[in-house]
Amino acid sequence: AAFNAKAKVSMSRFEPSNYVSYEKLNENVNIVRKRLNRPLTLSEKIVYGHLDDPVGQDIARGHTYLRLRPDRVAMQDATAQMAMLQFISSGLPCVAVPSTIHCDHLIEAQIGGAKDLARAKDINAEVYNFLASAGAKYGVGFWKPGSGIIHQIILENYAYPGVLLIGTDSHTPNGGGLGSICIGVGGADAVDVMAGIPWELKCPKVIGVKLTGKLSGWTSPKDVILKVAGILTVKGGTGAIVEYHGPGVDSISCTGLLHTLTTAALCILCVLGMATICNMGAEIGATTSVFPYNHRMKTYLEKTGRGDIASLADHYADLLVPDPGCEYDSIVEINLDELKPHINGPFTPDLAHPMADIGATAAKNGWPLEVKVGLIGSCTNSSYEDMGRSASVAKQALDKGLKCKAAFTITPGSEQIRATIERDGYSKILGDVGGMVLANACGPCIGQWDRRDVKKGEKNTIVTSYNRNFTARNDANPATHAFVASPEIVTALAIAGTLDFNPEVDYLTAANGEKFKLEPPSADELPKLDFDPGQDTYQHPPAEGGSKLRVDVSPTSTRLQLLEPFDKWAGGDLEDLQVLIKVKGKCTTDHISAAGPWLKFRGHLDNISNNMLIGAVNIENDGINKIKNQLTGEYGGVPDVARHYKANGLSWVVVGDDNYGEGSSREHAALEPRHLGGRCIIVKSFARIHETNLKKQGMLPLTFQIPADYDKIRPDDKISIKGLANFTPGKPLSAVVKHSDGSKDDFQLNHTFNETQIEWFQAGSALNRMKELQ
């Protein structure tokens, strides 16, 4: 009792009156453990510890829906626009939990950090002003443009062991590197939590990844997740939390060992390395990923000014690790002693290759060997240690008179990282070797890149330390072969200029003609001096509240648009839905709602709907953005045909393949089909976030009970969805397909709706239902 009286520890320095609640977490965990009568995994402890009703909640991994009370919400600026527009529509005066907005997505990489940032502030002034004023009015903290990437800011300020955070970005799981459960969601989910409504999550399964051995040489934490992605594939983690454990997690006890080794440098699985692994867990479809609390997390908390949280976490250390004897639904084992550097791609992040093999594989497949650009940074690998290891490689090349043969860019993860690597000399080394430091933002990782060195359609290779490498994602060029690797491997390849360079065995030629090998990189996990915070880029909500403030949206704006409620369900079956497009193969949220230049319309639903499905492949003709208008017989773009159908009162349906909607959390990929007259999406399987986003907007995401029924549907079919009058959880719906030749097919369609989600559909959207209940 005496300890607890003293242990009123703030969740962050920005919210001194909101406290870490390990006592409540522990109480809930004890209730659930007693009910289930078994040891719990770490992810179960944190998730079940945030149950709205730990006594009565039905808990079955992979089956039941949990009602949770997250501790906080984080939103990046591209998704925050629609989230805040929806929150404004709710009519509520203030957010119910600590929430933040982070300006990182709207800054285009062009000529360098400072000038690119100034240009972004000018071009996006209307959006930034809206977000800042909405944040002030509704009690949301606002991180200004230039502050850094949302996930690095969260790691530095808001994540801590045991917290449950939801974020409107698919790479929110980055916070798992600090023992947090951080889950990517759509904006409508964020609105629920900000409104004080319990948030629903299908009870996740738990995949255990057991790490043994030690990382060494050129092998880095990035190689762990590149290997895991190759094993589990882009959908292998769907519906599950990936929980890392085993002696490999904590195999090295002291950063200083790096400086005393005389053999190959050992790479520490530090907080930032663990964050990298968790971040890219999104690429295997995982709900999130997490590491257990250890001394590395304690040190990082202390170094980032949160020693009081570290002390409290020490007291509750048993709560922040898995119970002995807990069971996982499946286990993947990786021996770090045997793990070699990897590079994944092109066009998908689960196509894994050891560095030793990539040259031969590329030659066999006709992939360009010349590396045009190397890009390091992004939310996945932009920590102090990442920059230090890359600088370690660059320094060796400079000492031999070499510079990068490829173009080379560096994206710091935050203003704190930028200022610190500049102070400590890393920026100068990376610049001297030929690099250009970009703004503290997402940049090329999300397609915010004004690339001019190749023409669109020109086949070329780039290597990045990013997380995602879908077709045309980085530069809008579908012929760009993008490969993902660790920052130090990317730096080495940029110096060598060729994809088939393996720094473990291959030699470079110095300026004086001598041959030399690059030594494995080493760097400090954290700066010897404290972090340099750089410029102050945070805007506090006003202490007196925002009730007197106004948030204006111009009716003539092309960037922002107030939302109109979607129509309610009419009460009957959905009859004769026209197939808009039958999608062939991979269809990510980048295909459904492209980023890059379209990001500027994220707050204007009608304008951004002009990119709906323009990247999807039409099975009828293998064309992109070319479908037949069944009313006119003419071919047109997907959004144009959809608008024509809507104007003529014809509702429509999309038919898709496996893992439909993988990738980003962007809810625009669900809002746009609803806005343009879509009612249903029928596929072989969904990615988790996209399926939920569709439900939130009143759409029907359905899956073929027999996947082969996908082949029965023709591009000009009309489909009726039957059984909606008796729409209940667990009961399939049926489809009647009318072919243009007069024949018919019928088959069963599965769904994952629970009772609450069915109410969203009937009300027209989750937001409509929220208003009904007020």
Q: Please answer whether residues 666 and 694 qualify as being in contact, where contact means their C-beta atoms are separated by less than 8 angstroms.
A: no
Selected catalytic residue, list 72, 102, 105, 769: 105
Per DSSP, 11 falls in state: E
Quote the DSSP letter at residue 326: -
Residue 657 bears catalytic tag: no
In the chain, the amino acid numbered 259 is: H
105 is catalytic: yes
Measured CA to CA, the distance from residue 141 to residue 538 in angstroms comes to: 7
Catalytic residue among 664, 665, 685, 765: 664
Active site residue 389: no
Instruction: Provide the H-helix boundaries in 280-414.
Output: 295-303, 307-315, 355-365, 384-399
How many alpha carbons fall within 13 Å on the CB side of residue 633?
0
Question: CA 214 to CA 269: how far, in whole Å?
Answer: 9
SS3 at position 580: strand
Amino acid letter, residue 633: G
Element spanning 201, H or E: strand 199-202
Residue 524 one-letter amino acid? D
Coil, strand or helix at 577: strand
- Catalytic residue among 69, 71, 99, 104, which? 104
Q: Which residue has the tokens 């791609």?
A: 345
Catalytic residue among 245, 481, 666, 668: 666
Residue 241, class by beta-carbon neighbours within 10 Å (0-12 exposed, 13-18 middle, 19+ buried)?
buried
Q: Identify the DSSP state of 600.
A: G
Give kind and range of the element (H or E) at residue 211.
strand 205-212
Sheet holding 480-484, edge to edge: 352-354, 342-344, 480-484, 460-464, 371-377, 407-411, 435-437
Instruction: Report whether the peptide linkage leading into residue 346 is cis, meaning its omega lies within 30 degrees of zero.
Output: yes
Here the tokens at position 262 are 């005389």
| Secondary structure of residue 50 in the 3-state scheme | coil
Tokens 């990068």 belong to 404
Are 38 and 22 in contact, with CB atoms under 8 Å apart? Answer: no
Strands 733-738 and 744-750: antiparallel
**104 is an active site residue:** yes
The two structure tokens encoding residue 208: 């255990």
Residue 666 is among the residues annotated as catalytic for this protein: yes
**Catalytic annotation, pick one of 418, 451, 468, 591:** 468
CA distance 518 to 491: 11
| CA distances for 336 relative to 41, 250, 273, 292, 750, angstroms | 22, 12, 14, 18, 41
Residue 252 sits at φ, ψ, to 5 deg, of -120, 130
Annotation marks residue 468 as catalytic: yes
Question: Beta strands 744-750 and 700-704: pairing type?
Answer: antiparallel
Q: Which of 77, 116, 169, 590 is catalytic?
A: 169
Identity of the residue numbered 691: E
Specify the amino acid at residue 421: I
- Catalytic residue ranges: 104-105, 169, 468, 664, 666
